[in-house]
A and B are shown apart, each in its own frame.
Chain A
Amino acid sequence: GAVVSQHPSRVICKSGTSVKIECRSLDFQATTMFWYRQFPKQSLMLMATSNEGSKATYEQGVEKDKFLINHASLTLSTLTVTSAHPEDSSFYICSAHWGDLPEQFFGPGTRLTVL
């Protein structure tokens, strides 16, 4: 149980285009979902926290107008990277939380390459 999927697993786009990444909890309802960014050989950095039906809470330094997060249902959150640039190239990971357990369950990640 507690499986989280992400789609796509890999995306390559041109500079200036927008990219949408989906995060789904497959067998549970996620009360909270998290979005992380991980640069090569670095740790996971929390970008934002989203709760179903409410606006996402962004970490300091993360541009909310560039990284749009929508948490439309208890099983789906989306991250849209708007007007992507090469410096946005990274590995994006989502996670979900449910119930009383303190741990998060992670998706497999999405590798974004902006040319």
Chain B
Amino acid sequence: AQTVTQSQPEMSVQEAETVTLSCTYDTSESDYYLFWYKQPPSRQMILVIRQEAYKQQNATENRFSVNFQKAAKSFSLKISDSQLGDAAMYFCAYEATDSGYALNFGKGTSLLVTP
């Protein structure tokens, strides 16, 4: 079974600064998807960014970007110009292409943004 590890239970960043959240995963598959989801206090899961394993180029969505290191099985999320609204739980998730779209989540990182 694939495992997803988020080694940072909590992180803190000052407004306008940059923060990086770590995620590693274990798999024997060569083709898969990786995601970062955000869960604010409302508890609504929001897709932040997606990365296809076959793509070498790191995904970017506005202030959010990833550093995908396939050989190292690492998938970190960088948030630039942090805003107060970025405060939330962030979950890294893995999906095998033959899994029927089932997601395997990490334990999450709680991000605090200070003014």
A13 proximal to B (CB < 8 A): no
What is the CA–CA distance of A3 and B101 in the complex, to the nearest angstrom? 18
What is the CA–CA distance of A18 and B35 in the complex, to the nearest angstrom? 34
Of the listed stretches B19-27, B60-68, B73-81, B102-110, name the one at the interface; the rest are far from the partner chain. B102-110
Cβ of A8 to closest chain B Cβ, rounded Å: 14
- The binding surface of chain A is classed by DSSP as strand
B45:A91 contact, CB within 8 angstroms? no
Give the interface size class of chain B: 20 to 34
Of the listed stretches A42-50, A70-78, A79-87, name the one at the interface; the rest are far from the partner chain. A42-50
Interface size for A (C-beta < 8 A) is 20
- Chain A residue with Cβ nearest B42: A108
A106 proximal to B (CB < 8 A): yes
- Known A-B contacts A91-B43, A109-B43; the reply to A103 vs B107 at CB < 8 A is no
Interface residues of A (CB under 8 A from B): 32, 34, 38, 42-46, 49, 91, 93, 95, 97, 102-106, 108-109
Interface residues of B (CB under 8 A from A): 33, 35, 37, 42-47, 50, 52, 91, 95, 97, 100-108
What are 19 of the A-B contact pairs (CB < 8 Å)?
A: A42-B107, A43-B91, A43-B105, A43-B107, A44-B91, A44-B103, A46-B103, A91-B43, A95-B103, A102-B33, A102-B95, A102-B97, A102-B101, A103-B35, A103-B50, A104-B101, A106-B37, A106-B46, A108-B44
